[in-house]
Structure 1
Amino acid sequence: MKILETRWAFCLLTTVLILPLNALAAASADDGNVVNAPPAIAPLEEDYGIEIKSGEELYLPEPEVPDVSGYSRDAIEAKLAGRQDSAPNVTVERMGGVSALGDFVDEGRAREWVIRQFSHPQAIMVNSGKVTLEDVYRQVNDRRYMEQVGDGTYIIRLPLAVKQEATLVLRDETLRLSEERGSFIANDGWLFAIDSKIIGWREEANGPATFQKKGNFRPFYVGWGGSENFILGTTMANLGYLQSKSYGFTVAQYSEYDNARLQRSAPHAWLVESTFEDLYYGFYCYEAEDVAIVDNVYRDNIVYGIDPHDYSSRLLIANNEVYGTREKHGIIISREVNNSWIVGNRSYDNGLSGIVLDRQSSNNVVANNVSYDNQGDGIGLYESPDNLLWGNRLMNNLRNGIRVRNSSNVNVYHNVAVLNGTWGIYGQLKDLSATDRNFKEDFYSYEVSMNVVGGELASNASGPLSTDNPAYIAIYDVGMRFPRSDVGIHFEGVLGKYQMQIFDALRNQGRAVFIEPTAVVSGQVTQAEN
């Protein structure tokens, strides 16, 4: 930790020192229906022109972000108080025919629970009422299925399902989910976990169900379509494995087939001031809306820290600390996760990148985050156009500060990228036709375009800025100091062709640089029209 603090202090000090000098600065795979779509023809380097003019047209106001103060302890307590107080009703029943459990008994998955329960699979059903863990314990009344093992500490040895009209409340309690007996939580109604612990538990070792192998069952949590999930001041740990909707903490809409019958709205969740550790995925969602992930700690999770997925929208990921993700990214949104905000987070020491936008995730604001000491990029945009990166700090990442791959109309404003292992900002064209990507579902354009305004790109190993042949690039008021290369600050490719003009415009004239192809029609370069 001392090493981390020292490195963080050095990076922060470097940022503070170089910012005042700005004005003086010189210059993932899916299965099924694979379509190998060849990329469009990119313009050649000699087919570009440069224009020097005022930077006024590049002005953007600071983005508006949701007020995180609305996601508070008082607000969650008010939600709970609004739930009707009615008599609790809890039973133990067979798992079959229960909507919240259908995914786990269909398509051969029931075998998992037959083996673990030594019988036809059963579950604890919270049927109705506002129900506490004490209520569940009293009404189950069978130590084979649920046991109190200490003051406020319970272990359950069956799946636990909260039905549509019911509310389950954990407050100042610990709930252990037995790994050996196949326990998990499936919420189809309302669940509040306040100042509690929900732990995957390995009874044989009398300890937490720490991760061993990705295919080994571990307990998990899933909130289904129409569910409301409130996690406040709570620790969730040692959950999840590689199986659908069983990743750790998940909120997911029912399948299209099931929801044609159930007609459920999108699932919602507020995760506030909580800790998520040793989860296969710290957070995963599918077709969720209006999820708030605010002021949490995600540490030492396995594949991803925070991973909103597939057609989710209006998500707020704010002020979280995400670190130690073993395999991949700290924060990633993927496959048309749109109209969302990733703001004020710290993402560091992750197996790949700190923050990633992937597979046509658009109209998102990524602002005022700090991403450092990651094994990939600070921020990566993969096949995700029309996004805004504002005021982020990207430091000491192994690869680029910011990478923009096959993504157009990206606004990169007032970001600081320093001490990264390759470029401060890198625009990349990459042909994905040789991969197993499903191009019907995950289409993309072979194009990069961006506006780079303000901020500082300093002391990055390969240089401040590079881009493969862009559809356009505009650069204005960008500080570029402290080169690590012996040849000083330099550009490559299209930017290298106009290096002297770029430096002169930015440093001496205080004007903007606009570089774009002279004209491109149907993939063939033509003369620009008057």
Structure 2
Amino acid sequence: MKTPKTLRVLSLLITVLLVPGPASAAAGIAGETVTPPPAKAPALEDYGLQIKSGEALYRPDPVLPDLSRFTREAIESRLAGRPDQEPSVTVERIGDVSALGDFVDEGRAREWVIRQFSHPQAILVNSGKVTLEDVYRQVDDARYMERVGDGTYIVRLPLVVRHGATLVIRDQTLRLSEERGAFFANDGWLFVIDSKILGWREQANGPATFRKKTDFRPFFVGWGGSETFILGTTMASLGYHQSKSYGFAIAQYSDFDNARLQRSAPHAWVVESTFEDLYYGFYCYEAKDVAVVNNVYRDNIVYGIDPHDYSEGLIIAGNEVYGTREKHGIIISRQVNNSWIIGNRSYNNGLSGIVLDRQSRNNVVANNVSFDNHGDGIGLYESPDNLLWGNRLMNNLRNGIRVRNSTNVDLYHNVAVLNGTWGIYGQLKDLSATDRNFKEDFYDYEVSMAVVGGELASNASGPISSDNPEYIALYNVGMRFPRSDAGIHFEGVLGHFQTQIFDALLNQDQAVFIKPSASVTGKVTQVEN
């Protein structure tokens, strides 16, 4: 029979799942690797506590992007705006095609020599507004492309949309032959609507399901200057462990190539589509203003959604991400800035639900639900100046929210319940013994955060803990239903001021600020409202 305490916790969990948050929130560079020693963290006796009005921590609801513009009608309008020109498709050697340069350099061409039994060739969509049927008719060679059913085609060469050309795939299935080394590169405009793009194993007459990371599988990449629109489409069984060959990738050209090509950042809308059994469900590099909205990412291998390296202005919204085998459901890493991760559901992933990593700054993570993950609900690693607003983190194996080596993090109106360690954990971690390139992936050995509103309930280790923070501020934080018989308790600097914290939060309805300061060392300072 369940105890009253257990029933209260279950009731709270049901409330968390059903009640929405605040209404308006919805590899290394060349050069020497420098290993900086971590700064010395302040000792407990160096800290003081101030009590102030909660108004000192007020901040308005975040301004979130308008998602209503990412519609079928908007994509069809962009397609209609492309010029109707005669289609031109050829089969040519791949050596001088810019969109294929990454795949013939550094010995990678050998992959296609072996698979094509000749000097590598590709199908090139050169110009015009081209359909898949146009490609088939102009190639006119079953060795390279074959129609295997009504609206179903198999391609046995790399397929490239050249700069300025437009390819439209609508209500069709495109199979990319694994045995023959087929893949899909967009250097122009691509519209894939209500279709399927599949890695295909011809010998088995079925999908090229994942075996091991070094085994070639077909993939898609959209290059600098390209425009890619994916709508209502399934992409499956793509990608392996090679640069820009991860499954679905949107990537700028290298600095060397772009000095010649002068391409703008790549752009994409990925809307209402499904991605499964991809090595990376989504990857981007130096992309801007990409929208990944209302998709399903399921059972992908390493990551579900992985924007990377110097991408900016991204919108990752309304996606369902689950079953990622090895690592995180959603991760942004290496200076992915000024972006939004909002309204996603990320669960049952190999590590964490959502991660911000390697100096990703000025991002808003709002109204997401992250649960049943084998790591944290949300993790911030070496990523300062971010806002987490109105997220719900439940039953994750580790922490609800982990803030590691990250400063000026605002945690507002988040709910973390039934997690395996802390509701919120501020962590200092010395990374000097790792193989990290500190020239590129620098970090500060500091943690600071403001925690306002929300609920930290029934987490196994307690509601909140922080290794020696630069500062920590708390106001109006619910901390009900402790799992420990000892009740709600803190450790470290929070434990040092536990009585004063509870008195200020619960009895005075005030905010507390804890930081090392000569003016407040060893004192509790009451600041007038």
For the aligned pair, the TM-score class normalised by the smaller chain equals: over 0.9
SS in 2 for 1:306: strand
Looking at structure 2, the residues matched to 155 and 51 of structure 1 have their Cα atoms a distance apart, in angstroms, of 68
Q: Is 1:308 aligned with 2:307? A: yes
Q: Give matches, 1:243-322, under 5 Å.
A: 243-322=242-321
Looking at structure 1, the residues matched to 125 and 460 of structure 2 have their Cα atoms a distance apart, in angstroms, of 57
Q: Give matches, 1:347-426, under 5 Å.
A: 347-426=346-425
1:4 counterpart residue number: none
How far did 1:487 drift?
Answer: 1.1
SS in 1 for 2:107: coil
1:209 counterpart residue number: 208
How far did 1:518 drift?
Answer: 1.4
Looking at structure 1, the residues matched to 18 and 186 of structure 2 have their Cα atoms a distance apart, in angstroms, of 50
State whether residues 414 and 455 of structure 1, in contact with CA within 8 Å, keep that contact through their aligned partners in structure 2. Answer: yes
How far did 1:173 drift?
Answer: 0.2
1:111 counterpart residue number: 110
Aligned AA for 1:82? G
2:445 counterpart residue number: 446
The structure-2 alpha-carbon separation of the partners of 1:141 and 1:13, relative to structure 1 and needing over 3 Å to count, comes to: same
1:108-130 deviation per Cα after TM superposition (whole angstroms, max 9, x unaligned): 00000000000000000000000
How far did 1:526 drift?
Answer: 12
Looking at structure 2, the residues matched to 166 and 232 of structure 1 have their Cα atoms a distance apart, in angstroms, of 19
2:45 counterpart residue number: 46
2:73 counterpart residue number: 74
Looking at structure 1, the residues matched to 17 and 368 of structure 2 have their Cα atoms a distance apart, in angstroms, of 16
How far did 1:425 drift?
Answer: 0.1
1:65 counterpart residue number: 64
How far did 1:252 drift?
Answer: 0.3
State whether residues 176 and 182 of structure 2, in contact with CA within 8 Å, keep that contact through their aligned partners in structure 1. Answer: yes
Aligned AA for 1:59? Y
Q: Is 1:435 aligned with 2:440? A: no
1:142 counterpart residue number: 141
Looking at structure 1, the residues matched to 178 and 106 of structure 2 have their Cα atoms a distance apart, in angstroms, of 21
SS in 1 for 2:465: strand
Looking at structure 2, the residues matched to 345 and 517 of structure 1 have their Cα atoms a distance apart, in angstroms, of 37
How far did 1:10 drift?
Answer: 7.3
The structure-2 alpha-carbon separation of the partners of 1:326 and 1:19, relative to structure 1 and needing over 3 Å to count, comes to: closer
Looking at structure 2, the residues matched to 365 and 125 of structure 1 have their Cα atoms a distance apart, in angstroms, of 40
Looking at structure 1, the residues matched to 201 and 12 of structure 2 have their Cα atoms a distance apart, in angstroms, of 41
State whether residues 221 and 249 of structure 2, in contact with CA within 8 Å, keep that contact through their aligned partners in structure 1. Answer: yes
How far did 1:98 drift?
Answer: 0.4
1:354-405 deviation per Cα after TM superposition (whole angstroms, max 9, x unaligned): 0000000000000000000000000000000000000000000000000000
1:38-91 deviation per Cα after TM superposition (whole angstroms, max 9, x unaligned): 011111111000011101010011101111110100000000000000000000
The structure-2 alpha-carbon separation of the partners of 1:436 and 1:130, relative to structure 1 and needing over 3 Å to count, comes to: same
How far did 1:36 drift?
Answer: 1.4
Q: Is 1:457 aligned with 2:456? A: yes
Aligned AA for 1:117? Q
How far did 1:17 drift?
Answer: 10
State whether residues 28 and 440 of structure 2, in contact with CA within 8 Å, keep that contact through their aligned partners in structure 1. Answer: no
Looking at structure 2, the residues matched to 363 and 33 of structure 1 have their Cα atoms a distance apart, in angstroms, of 29
Looking at structure 1, the residues matched to 235 and 17 of structure 2 have their Cα atoms a distance apart, in angstroms, of 37
State whether residues 218 and 241 of structure 1, in contact with CA within 8 Å, keep that contact through their aligned partners in structure 2. Answer: yes
SS in 2 for 1:75: helix
SS in 1 for 2:105: coil
Looking at structure 2, the residues matched to 436 and 387 of structure 1 have their Cα atoms a distance apart, in angstroms, of 26
Aligned AA for 1:258? D
How far did 1:32 drift?
Answer: 6.5
Q: Is 1:120 aligned with 2:119? A: yes
The structure-2 alpha-carbon separation of the partners of 1:98 and 1:279, relative to structure 1 and needing over 3 Å to count, comes to: same
SS in 2 for 1:357: strand
1:3 counterpart residue number: none
Q: Is 1:35 aligned with 2:34? A: yes
The structure-2 alpha-carbon separation of the partners of 1:10 and 1:121, relative to structure 1 and needing over 3 Å to count, comes to: farther
Looking at structure 2, the residues matched to 175 and 113 of structure 1 have their Cα atoms a distance apart, in angstroms, of 20
How far did 1:34 drift?
Answer: 2.4
Looking at structure 1, the residues matched to 103 and 32 of structure 2 have their Cα atoms a distance apart, in angstroms, of 26
Aligned AA for 2:55? E
Looking at structure 2, the residues matched to 325 and 510 of structure 1 have their Cα atoms a distance apart, in angstroms, of 42
What RMSD over aligned residues (CA atoms) do the two structures have, in Å? 1.9
Instruction: Give the TM-score taking structure 2 as reference length.
Output: 0.94
Aligned AA for 2:349? N
How far did 1:12 drift?
Answer: 4.3
Looking at structure 2, the residues matched to 17 and 92 of structure 1 have their Cα atoms a distance apart, in angstroms, of 55
How far did 1:19 drift?
Answer: 11
Q: Is 1:218 aligned with 2:208? A: no
State whether residues 47 and 522 of structure 2, in contact with CA within 8 Å, keep that contact through their aligned partners in structure 1. Answer: no
Looking at structure 1, the residues matched to 196 and 458 of structure 2 have their Cα atoms a distance apart, in angstroms, of 44
The structure-2 alpha-carbon separation of the partners of 1:97 and 1:499, relative to structure 1 and needing over 3 Å to count, comes to: same
1:508 counterpart residue number: 507
Looking at structure 2, the residues matched to 491 and 29 of structure 1 have their Cα atoms a distance apart, in angstroms, of 39
SS in 2 for 1:107: helix
1:25 counterpart residue number: none
Looking at structure 2, the residues matched to 19 and 232 of structure 1 have their Cα atoms a distance apart, in angstroms, of 27
Looking at structure 1, the residues matched to 30 and 502 of structure 2 have their Cα atoms a distance apart, in angstroms, of 47
How far did 1:30 drift?
Answer: 8.7
Looking at structure 2, the residues matched to 483 and 208 of structure 1 have their Cα atoms a distance apart, in angstroms, of 48
How far did 1:18 drift?
Answer: 11
Identity score, percent: 80
How far did 1:151 drift?
Answer: 0.2
SS in 2 for 1:513: strand
The structure-2 alpha-carbon separation of the partners of 1:30 and 1:349, relative to structure 1 and needing over 3 Å to count, comes to: farther
The structure-2 alpha-carbon separation of the partners of 1:240 and 1:488, relative to structure 1 and needing over 3 Å to count, comes to: same
SS in 2 for 1:265: coil
State whether residues 457 and 478 of structure 2, in contact with CA within 8 Å, keep that contact through their aligned partners in structure 1. Answer: yes
Looking at structure 2, the residues matched to 419 and 48 of structure 1 have their Cα atoms a distance apart, in angstroms, of 30
SS in 2 for 1:148: strand
1:246-274 deviation per Cα after TM superposition (whole angstroms, max 9, x unaligned): 00000000000000000000000000000
SS in 1 for 2:101: helix
State whether residues 358 and 382 of structure 1, in contact with CA within 8 Å, keep that contact through their aligned partners in structure 2. Answer: yes
Q: Give matches, 1:185-196, under 5 Å.
A: 185-196=184-195
State whether residues 145 and 155 of structure 2, in contact with CA within 8 Å, keep that contact through their aligned partners in structure 1. Answer: yes
2:14 counterpart residue number: 13
Looking at structure 2, the residues matched to 89 and 75 of structure 1 have their Cα atoms a distance apart, in angstroms, of 27
2:128 counterpart residue number: 129
How far did 1:11 drift?
Answer: 7.2
